[in-house]
Amino acid sequence: MPNQFNISQFNITQAYIKHKMPIGGVRAFRVNTSVLSVACGILLLSGCAMGPDYQRPDLEIPEQFHHELQQTDEQNVGLKHWRDFYLDPDLQVLIEHALDQNLDLEGVRSRLLAARAGVTVTDAALFPVVGLDANGERALDSALTSTDPVKEDTFYVAGTVSWELDLWGANRRRSEAEFANFISSQEALNLATISLISDVASRYYEWLDVEQRYQISLNTVELRKKERDLARLRKQNGVISGLQVRQAEVEYQSARVTLPDLDYERSEKANQLRILLGEFTYPLIPKTEAQLKAEGALFPDSFAVGIPSQMLSQRPDVKSAEQALVAANANVGVAKTAFFPKFTISGSYGSESESLSDIFDSQGLTWSLLGGVTAPIFNAGKISAQYDIAQENAKQAMLSYKSTVLGAYFEVNDAMNSFRRSELAIDAQQELVVASTEYTRLATLRYRNGVSSSLDLMDAQRSLFSAELTLSQVKRDRLLSMITLYRALGGGVLTRDEMKAELEKPTGKQQVEEVTNQ
C-alpha cells in the first residue's frame, strides 16, 4: 500500500507516520521525539475546558410567602408523596390508572428515553472510535498493455482507531449540555406527572360536585312536583286560588330547567376524566356527600407550605428551567472552542497478503499512524457570530429561569390566598344552608297551619335550593384550592424508584441505571 498524504482546506498535518511491512522482509521504524513531546503536551492540556463553569444565579427570593399559613423550612405539604396527600382510595385507583395509561404522559416518557440516548451519543465523542477494515481485491491487467497479463489477489484486514483530542473541552461541554437536557427532560416528566395527578383529582371532584348538584336538583324537582300536585288538589277544594297553583307550577318548572345543563355537565366531566385515564369506557361510580364523610378525610390535616427558597428544589418547572440554563452556559464554552485548532489522531494495524490463507502471516504486517490539526483561518465572522448567539441564548435562559422562579413564587402565593378564601367561604355557606333549612322548616309549618301564604314557603324553598347548590360548588372550590396549592408547591414528584420504573416501562427488559433527582 503506497504512502498517502491528504491535506484538506486549512488542515495542517503536524505528525504523520505511515509504514507498511513488506511480505519479504522487516523494516525498522523510529518515532520522532518531538512528536511524542507534542502528544504528551496535548494529553496534559486536555484537562481544561473553555467557557464559564456554571454557578447558580443568586436570586433575591423573599424569606416568607405573603400569607399567614404555617411556613417552615422543615417538611411541608409539597414534599408529601401523592398517595399521602390524596387519601380517597377511589381517587388513588384513578390516579394509578392514569399514570399507567395516559397517552400524553407516555409521550413525555418517550422523550425522556430519547434524551437519555442523546447523552450516550454525545459522550461517545470523548472516546476513541475503534473499527475494523477488511477488503479483498482480484485484478487482471489488460493484454493490450501487458505482455503477460495475470490475475492478482490482494487481501487486507486491519483494526482502525480515530480520536479527536478534547484539548479545549468542546466535547466535555457538549456532554455537560446534553446531560443537562436529559435532567431537564426528567423534570419535564415530573412536571407532566404532577399535572396529570392534579388534573385527575380536579376532574374527579368536579365530576362529584356536578353529580351531587344534579341529585339535589332531582330531589328538589320531586319535592316541588308534589307541592304542585298538592296545590292543584287544594285549588279543587277551594282552599287556594289559581294564582297560587301557578306559583307552584313556576317553582316546579324552575327546578326542572336546571336538569338538562347539569346532565350535560356531568357527562362532560366524566368524559374529561376518561381522557386522562386513557380509556374510552371506564366505569365511574358517583358518591354521595354522606359516603364521602363516612370514608374519612380526603386530605392531610397539616398544610405547612415551607419557605420560598424550597421552590428551587421542589418544583420541576424551576429545576427544568435551571437545567436549560446549565445547557446554555455549556454551549457558550462549545462555541468558544471553535476559535481554536482541533487535534485528531488516527491509525490502523493489520495485515495484507496476496493469499487469503496467509492473511495473518507476521511478514504481512501493516500499520499506520496519523496526527492532524485543523485550524480556522478565515470564515467571514461565522465563528464570532455563533459565539455571540451562544451568549445571547445563555442570557435568554437566565431570564427565563428568573421569570420561572418569579412566577412560581406568586403562583404559590395565589394558591395560598385561594385556599384561605375557600376556608372562609365554606364556613359562611354552611351557615347559610343551616339558616335556609330552618327558614324552610318554619315556613312549611306556618303554611300548613294557614298562618302564612305559599309565597313565603316558596321563597324559603328557593333560598334553600340555591344555598345547597352553592354549598356544593364551594366545597368543590375548597378541594380544588387544596389540589392547586399542593401542585404549586411541587407535590407529586416521582421518587427515584418510580422514575426508574417509568424509564423501564417502554423498554420492558432493559436494565435502567439509577437516575439521580436533583
Instruction: Assess if residue 234 is contained within a domain.
Output: yes
Structural element, H or E, at residue 424:
helix 382-448
- The residue whose grid cell reads 456532554 is 175
Spatial CB neighbours of 420, under 8 Å, sequence gap ≥ 6: 67, 68, 69
What are the Cα distances from residue 256, in Å, to 78, 220, 224? 43, 9, 9
CA 479 – CA 162 distance, rounded (Å): 62
Q: Is the pTM of this model over 0.85?
A: no
- For residue 215, give the 3-state DSSP assignment: helix
What are the Cα distances from residue 199, in Å, to 102, 482, 497? 12, 13, 23
Is 311:318 a contact under the CB 8 Å cutoff? yes
Is 171:164 a contact under the CB 8 Å cutoff? yes
Instruction: Assess if residue 368 is contained within a domain.
Output: no
Instruction: Assess if residue 271 is contained within a domain.
Output: yes
Instruction: Assess if residue 184 is contained within a domain.
Output: yes
The one-letter code for the residue type at 498 is E
- How far from the centroid of its chain's Cα atoms is residue 411's Cα? 19
pLDDT at 420: 84
DSSP string, 308-371: GGGHHHH-HHHHHHHHHHHHHHHHHHHHHHTTS-EEEEEEEEEEEESSGGGTT-GGGEEEEEEE
pLDDT at 67: 61
Domain at 492, CATH number: 1.20.1600.10
Instruction: Assess if residue 358 is contained within a domain.
Output: no
Host domain of residue 253: 46-299+308-340+375-506
Instruction: Assess if residue 314 is contained within a domain.
Output: yes
518 residues of the chain, pLDDT tens digit each = 333 333 332 333 333 223 333 333 333 334 344 444 444 454 444 456 788 888 888 888 887 776 655 555 556 788 888 998 898 889 999 999 999 889 898 888 889 999 999 999 999 988 999 999 888 888 887 777 777 778 888 888 889 999 988 888 889 999 999 999 999 999 999 999 999 999 999 999 999 989 988 998 998 899 888 888 888 887 888 777 788 888 888 888 888 998 999 999 989 999 999 999 988 888 887 776 666 665 567 877 777 777 777 777 788 999 999 999 999 999 999 999 999 999 999 999 888 887 777 777 777 788 889 989 989 998 899 999 999 999 999 999 999 999 999 998 888 888 888 888 888 888 888 899 999 999 888 888 887 777 776 777 888 888 888 888 888 888 888 889 889 988 988 887 777 777 777 667 644 333 334 444 44
Instruction: Assess if residue 353 is contained within a domain.
Output: no
Instruction: Assess if residue 253 is contained within a domain.
Output: yes
Q: Phi, psi at residue 138, to the nearest 5°?
A: -125, 125
What total of structural domains would you count in the chain? 1
